[in-house]
Amino acid sequence: MSDAWVRALVALPFGLVIGSFMTVVVARVPTGASVVRPRSRCPSCGGPVRARDNVPVLSWVLLRGRCRACRAPISVAYPLLELSTAVLFAGSFAAHADPWAGALVAALLSLMPAIAAIDLRHRIIPNRLMYPALAAFPLFVLLGWLAGGTPDPVRAAIGFAAFGGGLFLVAIVSGGMGMGDVKLAALEGVALGALGLARVGVAAGVAVAVGGLVAIAALLAGRGRRAAIPFGPSLAAGAVAAGLWGPQLADLYLRALRG
């Protein structure tokens, strides 16, 4: 078994735990509720979820997607969010041999499914997520640099200015982009830029491409040109692509340009 697989398997359980917490974040943060109290409850009957019924993914499968108490169906969105978060968390450590780089990308990507889900549902990227992340990620980059890891604070600052500043200008000029998107781009600029500015370019390019495809699909589906289309999921897709395959995608693009 390769070292990458070992790192992924070790990280996977931690990713599942984080994914379980992210289901609480998605449900409570947009409403301003605490993510700590009360404990997890059934969305139908309000009964508390027992510890044995709160095992990520597995409990939902064993209970066949229903509450143990009232037997009401529990959305498949819960295990999908847990599983996607865990896969991205584990994949980050598989893609990066340096533990500082792996932890940095894992922390970033573990936010992406929750942010995409919240933006799709509520058309916001909450400040309760963005402000703590924008404070914590630069500190982690600096700590990793001081410890001799891969993250570079100078590149992180450039990435912050380039991606966050670029989207800020777009938001000011267009008037159709929210500040939540700008903050998310700035966060991606810090985390991805710390590992290489090419990753920031990949994140931006993929986000624009995915956003364009989504806009075309919306127009074909009959939505008007002025219909609000959340950009957070596109930014999340860009972060995933850049975090896991940034150098490879950048190299592929450059080779395509050379013919």
pLDDT score of 37: 85
Pair (228, 245) in one structural domain: yes
Pair (258, 164) in one structural domain: yes
Q: What is the pLDDT of residues 153-170, one digit of tens each?
A: 999 999 999 999 999 999
131 has pLDDT over 90: yes
9-18, 64-73, 136-145, 186-195: which range is least confident on average? 64-73
Phi, psi of 38 (to 5 degrees): -75, 175
pLDDT score of 38: 83
Pair (68, 157) in one structural domain: no
Pair (195, 86) in one structural domain: no
Pair (237, 112) in one structural domain: yes
Q: Cis ω on the peptide bond leading into residue 113 (within 30° of 0)?
A: no
Take residue 1 and report the two structure tokens written for it.
């078994």
Give CA–CA dist 113/74, Å, rounded.
18
* Average pLDDT over all residues of the chain: 93
Pair (112, 91) in one structural domain: no
Take residue 137 and report the two structure tokens written for it.
């990620």
Pair (165, 204) in one structural domain: yes
Angle, to 10 degrees, between the axis of helix 77-95 and the axis of helix 3-28? 140
pTM for this entry: 0.94
- Sorting pLDDT into bands at 50, 70 and 90, what band is 218? confident
Q: What is the domain range of residue 259?
A: 98-259
Give CA–CA dist 104/196, Å, rounded.
13
Pair (38, 115) in one structural domain: no
223 has pLDDT over 90: no
Pair (58, 147) in one structural domain: no
Q: What is the pLDDT of residues 20-59, one digit of tens each?
A: 999 999 999 999 999 988 888 888 887 788 888 889 999 9
Mean pLDDT across 128-148: 97
Q: Can you spell out the DSSP letters for 98-134?
A: SHHHHHHHHHHHHHHHHHHHHHHHHS---HHHHHHHH
Pair (104, 91) in one structural domain: no
Which has the higher per-residue pLDDT, 257 or 187? Answer: 187
Domain boundary among 80, 95, 110: 95
pLDDT score of 257: 85
β-bridge mates for residue 48, sequence order: 41
pLDDT score of 224: 61
- Sorting pLDDT into bands at 50, 70 and 90, what band is 221? confident
Q: What is the pLDDT of residues 167-209, one digit of tens each?
A: 999 999 887 788 999 999 999 999 999 999 999 999 999 999 9
106-110, 162-166, 227-231: which range is least confident on average? 227-231
Pair (238, 174) in one structural domain: yes
The conformation of residue 21, written as its DSSP 8-state character, comes to H
Pair (48, 79) in one structural domain: yes
Domain boundary among 95, 117, 150: 95
Which has the higher per-residue pLDDT, 229 or 161? Answer: 161
Mean pLDDT across 90-109: 97
Measuring CA to CA, which residue among 201, 178, 65, 53 is closest to residue 127? 178
pLDDT score of 226: 65
pLDDT score of 130: 97
Q: Can you spell out the DSSP letters for 66-99?
A: B-TTT--B--THHHHHHHHHHHHHHHHHHH-SSH
- Sorting pLDDT into bands at 50, 70 and 90, what band is 244? very high
What's the number of domains the chain is made of? 2
259 has pLDDT over 90: no
Domain boundary among 95, 121, 153: 95
